[in-house]
Amino acid sequence: MKDTGGNAQKAGEGAFRKPRAEACGTLLLLCLGLAAQAARASEPSPAAPQDPAAGQAPVTLSTVQVNASRLDLSPFDVPASLSVVQVAPYQAGQPGVNLSEGLVGVPGILARDRQNYAQDEQISIRGFGSRATFGVRSIRLYVDGIPATLPDGQGQVSHFNLDSAERIEVLRGPFSVLYGNAAGGVVQIWSADGTPTPLTTLGVSAGSNDSFRYSADTRGTIGPVDYNIAGSLFLSGGYRRHSRVHRESDNAKFGIDLGHQKKLTIVLNRLNQPLSQDPLGLTQAQVDADPRQATAVAGEYNTRKSILQNQLGAIFEQPLSDDDQLRAMAYYGHRSIVQYLSIPTFAQASPLSSGGVIDLGTKYGGADARWTHRGQLGGRDYEFVLGASGDAQAQHRLGYNDFVGSTLGVMGQLRRNEDDNVNSVDEYAQWYWHFADRWSLLLGARHDEVRFSSHDFYVTPRNPDNSGGVSYGGTTPVAGLDFRPSGHLRLYASYGKGFETPSFNELGYRSDGLPGLALNLRPARSSNMELGAKWKITPMLEFDAAAFRSNTHDELAIESNSSGRSTYQNVGDTRRQGFESSLTGKLAEDWQISAGVTHLRAQFLSAFNTCFSAPCLVPKLPVAAGSRMPGVPENYGSLRVQHGADLGWHEGIDLTGVGSVTVNDTDTQRAAGYGLIGLDTSYTFALGGSSRLQLSARVDNLADRRYIGSVIVNDGNGRYFEPGPDRTWMLGAHLTF
């Protein structure tokens, strides 16, 4: 790999216009200016309950109890960075497909739509999760309290259903570790309860790149049962060639009142994605020539993925007394994946090769029970939570050649057959004590035991039995102190230790090219600190800010990435530190804002060697101490301002800015930063009673900028770049009755 030193090549320079370096700073100044203007304005009236057809954008719920803290506290009183945004399922022309649509204005989190539904969204929080080449790593995910992260730490958001959603919670910083293994942050999506009066919404939208979406959502109450059932179909030809997708998403939530304050919640969801073509990444030269192209081998091998997932979960809640509450949760799911890679046929000639087709069948499930007690100590209120959980993952992994004779992209000879199992047992406790008028203390601890085992059934004279196993354990304490100078201001400090095991995707391949698990990998352990402030400028407008630092020992990083397979290593110490701020709420009657900016510096503190390609017996490519971690921009932010009421016209503008990122550990190439503008408008007609019709239009990337939407970190073929789409449009219609 050519060393370009300080003149590292940047994808798109020349063909791509780089935004001003101060873009994120401008967003922050704009936020503060709007806050000052709102503080001088008259106090707004309380917000009316949101109608699914109203088209309102995310607004922070600063006075509503949420579940991320597991405590009966508002986000404003929790000594942690916690954002809660209402989901607008039918917000002016939004496709309703990607989680990133609901995260505009949330600081700390970076969600990138890769325009590649074979690899899912790319999500990181304060730099955690940026190394993931597919799916979501280092972040815990939940749907209605049901884990969407497998016990090994690998998660995905493709089954998050925005049509039925009410809110998204994003927890950042030290208190994330109370969610266990690989919790560099927590993202939870919650479905709305059924409405007292039945309400049904039918939607259709169409837009650029042959994209169509059809949706239906019905909510209501029948006797003691409230329900919310949603289904959608998304079809798209894709911005890039060879990126067609067919996705079906269904979600149902039933709340059953059992009497005597007992409640049972049943959650079912289904994801069927029979086709998602994978265009693969591009080199810089390919991006400059034609950002819409797919890599040639993507067509030759017909790289693609199919997914089918079904999941059932149940949550039971019962008061044991006036001061005690019991909550029990259980879930079970099955997920099958078949993926065709572009591994060359000559590489599969090795008797140790696992082939170029991955066939995974995963059964997973678990249970969680916790007891909450409220009382007084020293005449002051406290709340205590004690819980335990167990999770299991049984994965049957098959591998096949991706060719038969001279025909490529078809399932051929069996090359891998094994069972990969994970079992975890965890205990946790939290204690919140409001020990003085202006002071409160939050303490917590969690202990995790995670056991990996692999049973190899593909044994030949030239491919030995590679069964094996490994166990990891860790205890993660956390503490937070909150000070209340006034009823409108909170100051807090928190500290916690984190724990992250390798996932099966990281254990799955050894860097020396031999079969079997990479049992030499150690868990990464982190120390996390945060100082923060929360200020209610008006009852409906809040400004939050936090400074943070995370030091990690035995950081897991990519050692080599070639032919669709990644190997990993522990690389010593790293540091992620920075500052984030947000402004959310109502500026005035019918005016709303959601803005967030983040400055983040992520560095390798220890020097190490990495590989250029696989197989790699001895890493020889040096990475200097102080180097930037790849995939992490130093500055990023987003802003949405909108105007409008439930009926009539509604207008909105989105601004997004992301700084440049390095694409590999050695920093020989970078993806340039970018700034994007989105505009939307809608008109809602009252049709009588509760019936409404909303017509909407939306334009994204208004300036038609060329930009790199996401990167594939440390790609061994130099195909790091995934271009974002040019100017796109979408028209929509939603009927509610």
| Confidence band, pLDDT 50/70/90 cuts, at residue 93 | low
pLDDT at 47: 37
Look up residue 86 and give its amino acid.
Answer: Q
pLDDT at 222 over 90: yes
Closest CA to 311 of 330, 337, 336, 331: 331
The Cα–Cα gap between 653 and 93 comes to 12
Rounded to two decimals, the pTM is: 0.88
pLDDT at 23 over 60: no
pLDDT at 564: 54
The parent domain of residue 453 ranges over 5-736
Sign of the CA dihedral running 98, 103, 105, 109: negative
Sign of the CA dihedral running 727, 215, 105, 113: negative
The Cα–Cα gap between 91 and 548 comes to 33
**Mean pLDDT across 544-551:** 97
**Mean pLDDT across 45-49:** 37
**Mean pLDDT across 265-273:** 96
Convert the pLDDT of each residue in 342-359 to its tens digit. Answer: 999 998 988 888 899 999
pLDDT at 72: 77
| Confidence band, pLDDT 50/70/90 cuts, at residue 28 | very low
pLDDT at 9: 43
Convert the pLDDT of each residue in 489-543 to its tens digit. Answer: 999 999 999 989 998 888 887 877 777 788 889 999 999 999 999 999 999 999 9
pLDDT at 693 over 60: yes
In the chain, the N- to C-terminal Cα span, in Å, equals 61
The Cα–Cα gap between 410 and 402 comes to 5
**Mean pLDDT across 109-136:** 87
**Mean pLDDT across 423-430:** 95
Specify the range with the lowest mean pLDDT, choosing from 44-53, 218-227, 537-546, 583-592: 44-53
Percent of the chain with pLDDT over 70: 88
pLDDT at 12 over 80: no
| Confidence band, pLDDT 50/70/90 cuts, at residue 131 | confident
Q: CA 560 → CA 101, 200, 585, distances in Å? A: 32, 50, 45
> How many helices, marked H, and strands, marked E, lie in the chain?
4, 40
pLDDT at 246 over 80: yes
**Mean pLDDT across 354-383:** 95
pLDDT at 153: 87
The Cα–Cα gap between 197 and 5 comes to 65
pLDDT at 565 over 80: no
Residue with the bigger pLDDT between 318 and 69: it is 318
The Cα–Cα gap between 262 and 270 comes to 27
Convert the pLDDT of each residue in 301-328 to its tens digit. Answer: 999 999 999 999 999 999 999 999 999 9
pLDDT at 320: 95
Radius of gyration of the chain (CA): 25
pLDDT at 18: 38
Could you check whether the bond before residue 198 is cis, i.e. omega within 30 degrees of 0? no
The Cα–Cα gap between 64 and 266 comes to 23
pLDDT at 562: 63
DSSP string, 550-616: EEEES-EEEEEEETTEEEEEE--EEEEEEEEEEEEEEEETTEEEEEEEEEEEEEE-S-EEE-SSSS-
Length of the chain, in residues = 737
Q: What share of the chain is helix, strand, coil (3-state, %, to 5)?
A: 5, 55, 40
CB 120 within 8 Å of CB 156: yes
DSSP string, 261-272: TEEEEEEEEEEE
Percent of the chain with pLDDT over 90: 71
pLDDT at 405 over 90: yes
| Confidence band, pLDDT 50/70/90 cuts, at residue 20 | very low
Of 62-71, 456-465, 516-525, 600-609, which has the strongest mean pLDDT? 600-609
Both structure tokens of 401 = 């050649």
pLDDT at 392: 96
Parallel/antiparallel/unpaired status of strands 185-191 and 140-143: parallel
Domain count, the chain: 1
pLDDT at 24: 41
CB 187 within 8 Å of CB 164: no
**Mean pLDDT across 39-66:** 41
pLDDT at 68: 65
pLDDT at 21 over 90: no
* Cβ partners under 8 Å of residue 322, min gap 6: none
The Cα–Cα gap between 127 and 631 comes to 8
**Mean pLDDT across 439-467:** 92
**Mean pLDDT across 119-128:** 90
Backbone dihedral angles phi then psi of residue 693, each to the nearest 5 degrees: -130, 125
DSSP assigned state of 237: -
pLDDT at 88: 75
The residue written with tokens 């209610």 in the block is 536
The Cα–Cα gap between 500 and 521 comes to 11
Convert the pLDDT of each residue in 640-678 to its tens digit. Answer: 999 998 899 999 999 999 999 999 999 999 999 999 999
| Confidence band, pLDDT 50/70/90 cuts, at residue 33 | very low
pLDDT at 50 over 80: no
CATH of the domain at 12: 2.40.170.20
pLDDT at 29 over 70: no
Could you check whether the bond before residue 615 is cis, i.e. omega within 30 degrees of 0? yes
CB 158 within 8 Å of CB 118: no
CB 279 within 8 Å of CB 238: yes
| Confidence band, pLDDT 50/70/90 cuts, at residue 67 | low
| Confidence band, pLDDT 50/70/90 cuts, at residue 431 | very high
On average, the pLDDT of the chain sits at 87
Look up residue 97 and give its amino acid.
Answer: V
CB 144 within 8 Å of CB 253: yes
The CA angle 521-712-654, to the nearest 5 degrees, is 125
The residue written with tokens 């003085």 in the block is 436
